[in-house]
């Protein structure tokens, strides 16, 4: 039993920090605060009402950065990279389903609007945030990075692993935009459209999860030679990882559908999904 618990004890013995994540997250937080101050200064110069940044939004944005830091460093990172595929799947779901909506909820539209004035950015943003494109980009990224050749390459080469996580984050922010976008120039879906979008989002994820869960061999060899944790075999670990993507991942979108439905009914069935964007 002690031998089975030894890897867990090693992981919990210290908190590993990767400088690239700390520096990147600190830079992102600093850019956010700089943009907040710049927006207030611009409003004062134009004689317009100052764009206040509510404390709740600041808390959500910086909370997302903290969750990212804790996910990409420390025990979660160590278990994911060196021991358990199932832990890696938990890490990926946090990157895809928890951090992006927190980032979007914490970022008002006025902070992003100047980017649309950059040549080419506005047209690209209007195209890539279309629900069909956002849906396709997210699911292609998700499926491609779970194919054994690419996944194993990410485990073997740290720079590729960083690229994998950045692509997950970017594609996930894009995927969430039709549900939580804060710019009327890049509109959200209607409430019924959001519910359909969430339902459809469960289907490709389920296909990838079934592929992993039902595999009769270990798809990712690094985990086959990793020290065993709690006596879980590599194939069992892989199946647990597939189930984590399949069940919690799918149920999460059904939960979002429920929230959207409640918002819709509270507004008497009127589609006012974009109202918050104008205020943002």
What are the pLDDT digits (tens) for 64-118? 999 999 999 999 999 999 999 999 999 999 999 999 999 999 999 989 998 999 9
Does 10 have pLDDT greater than 90? no
What whole-number distance in Å separates Cα of residue 270 and Cα of residue 191?
A: 9
Work out the burial of residue 265: count CB atoms within 10 Å of its CB; fewer than 13 is exposed, 13-18 middle, 19 or more buried. Answer: exposed
- C-alpha dihedral over 92, 95, 98, 99, to 10 degrees? 170
Greater confidence, 88 or 231?
88
pLDDT band at 41 (very low <50, low <70, confident <90, very high): confident
In the prediction, which pLDDT does 54 show?
Answer: 82
pTM beyond 0.85: yes
176: Cα separation from own chain's centroid: 9
What are the pLDDT digits (tens) for 126-185? 999 999 999 999 999 999 999 999 999 999 999 999 999 999 999 999 999 999 999 999
In the prediction, which pLDDT does 267 show?
Answer: 84
Q: Cβ contacts of residue 274 below 8 Å, gap of 6+? A: 184, 187, 188
Return the HEC string of 106-139. Answer: CCCHHHHHHHHCCCCHHHHHHHHCCHHHHHHHHH
């Amino acid at each position: 039993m002690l031998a089975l618990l030894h890897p867990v004890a090693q992981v919990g013995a210290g908190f590993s920090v990767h400088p690239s994540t700390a520096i990147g997250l600190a830079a992102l937080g600093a850019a956010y605060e700089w943009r907040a101050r710049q927006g207030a200064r611009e409003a004062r110069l134009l004689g317009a009402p100052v764009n206040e940044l509510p404390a709740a939004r600041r808390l959500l944005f910086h909370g997302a950065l903290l969750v990212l830091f804790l996910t990409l460093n420390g025990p979660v990172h160590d278990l994911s990279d060196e021991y358990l595929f199932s832990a890696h799947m938990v890490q990926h779901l946090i990157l895809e389903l928890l951090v992006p909506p927190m980032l979007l909820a914490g970022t008002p539209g006025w902070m992003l609007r100047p980017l649309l004035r950059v040549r080419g950015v506005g047209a690209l943003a209007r195209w890539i945030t279309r629900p069909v494109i956002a849906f396709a980009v997210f699911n292609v990224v998700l499926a491609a990075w779970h194919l054994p050749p690419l996944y194993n390459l990410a485990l073997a080469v740290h720079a590729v692993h960083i690229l994998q996580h950045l692509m997950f984050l970017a594609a996930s922010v894009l995927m969430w935009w039709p549900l939580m976008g804060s710019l009327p120039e890049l509109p959200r879906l209607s409430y019924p459209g959001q519910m359909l979008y969430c339902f459809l989002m469960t289907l490709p994820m389920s296909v990838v999860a079934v592929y992993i869960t039902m595999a009769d061999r270990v798809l990712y060899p690094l985990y086959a030679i990793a020290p065993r944790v709690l006596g879980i075999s590599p194939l069992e670990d892989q199946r647990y990882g597939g189930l984590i993507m399949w069940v919690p991942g799918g149920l999460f979108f059904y939960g979002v559908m429920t929230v959207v439905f409640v918002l819709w009914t509270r507004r008497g069935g009127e589609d006012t999904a974009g109202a918050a964007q104008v205020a943002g």
